[in-house]
Amino acid sequence: MAETTYAGKLGALARFIAALLANAAELTHLDGLRARIEAILAEAQGVAREQAALTARRQEASQRIRALLTEGDRLMTAASKILQEHYGLRSEKLAEFHLQPFRGRTRLGKARKSQSESSPIPSAVPAAEPQ
């Protein structure tokens, strides 16, 4: 069965080169090809090591950005509270900072009354037709 992973393919190349070296006396006409395969294997192994290092660096960068964004959110929350204290909860100036000024709230009774007047509830059972 053919290898499908990079590590598996690198291992297959290494085993193939080892077999070629073990039989080098009989296969002198393949020395040039073996040397090219060895060069490719060495370069591929180097790139694989570089990829592993980059993966580790990417993970470290992800952890760092997560920590920075958490700290930024914490500081933004603190600054938001200070701005609300400075300008007042109802100040429209808060909108410049993408903060919602307090504009009061709708009374629950008015909301229900206006909702029931504007959209009557249809009856679940249709009216019976006279026969």
Helix, strand, coil: what percent of the chain each, to 5? 70, 0, 30
The span from the CA of 96 to the CA of 73, in Å, is 18
- Give the relative orientation of helices 31-87 and 6-22 as an angle to the nearest 10 degrees: 160
Residues 6+ apart with CB under 8 A from 90: 101, 102, 103
pLDDT tens for 57-78 read 999 999 999 999 999 999 999 9
Q: Confidence band (pLDDT; 50, 70, 90) for 13?
A: very high
pLDDT of residue 105: 84
